Amino acid sequence: MSLLDDLFQASRVAQGRAYVPYSKFPVGAAIATASGAIYPGCNVENAAYPVGTCAEASAISAMLGGGERVIAAIMVVGDGPMLVTPCGGCRQRIREFAAFDTPVHIAGPDGLRATFRLDELLPHSFGPDTLERAGASR
């Protein structure tokens, strides 16, 4: 299997585990790291709506919990005819751990629909290197 196949499979499994009693819109994500590890995540809703967690944020947390800090590629899978791309907050979260040219794959139930580089989804972004260039400490 290819990396895209592995990411798609992990995303679909995670999507099936999403907790979405309110929106009924399950989303799965999977992150590949340079080591070859894959970390899945799913969206988790809450009756207090702003307290929910996006699938991408869930996958990033799993990656960090697994001891890794660099996203080599990410896939997001959602249902429906539209592309389910990361929300603005998740684009910024991805930016914290990914390079500008990191591929962000978008899939539907039947497979890959589009691939973007992170800088296409989040142009002129503010990230860790912005602080480093300004001489700020982290």
pLDDT in tens, 63-72: 999 999 999 9
pLDDT of 17 above 60 = yes
Residue 51 tokens, joined: 């307290």
In a domain, 76, yes or no: yes
In a domain, 45, yes or no: yes
Model confidence at 53, pLDDT cuts 50, 70, 90, reads: very high
**Mean of pLDDT over the chain:** 95
Q: Is 56 among the residues known to form the active site? A: yes
The CA distances from residue 37 to 10, 31, 77, in Å, are: 11, 8, 18
In a domain, 121, yes or no: yes
pLDDT value for 118: 98
pLDDT in tens, 99-119: 999 999 999 999 999 999 999
Domain hosting 85: range is: 3-133
pLDDT of 138 above 70 = no
pLDDT of 137 above 80 = no
In a domain, 12, yes or no: yes
Of how many residues is the chain composed?
A: 138
Which one of the listed residues 56, 68, 120, 132 is annotated catalytic? 56
Give, for 96, the enclosing helix (H) or strand (E): helix 88-97
CATH number at residue 84: 3.40.140.10
Q: In this structure, are residues 118 and 101 in contact, taking their beta carbons and an 8 Å threshold? A: yes
In a domain, 138, yes or no: no
Report how many domains make up the chain. 1
pLDDT of 60 above 70 = yes
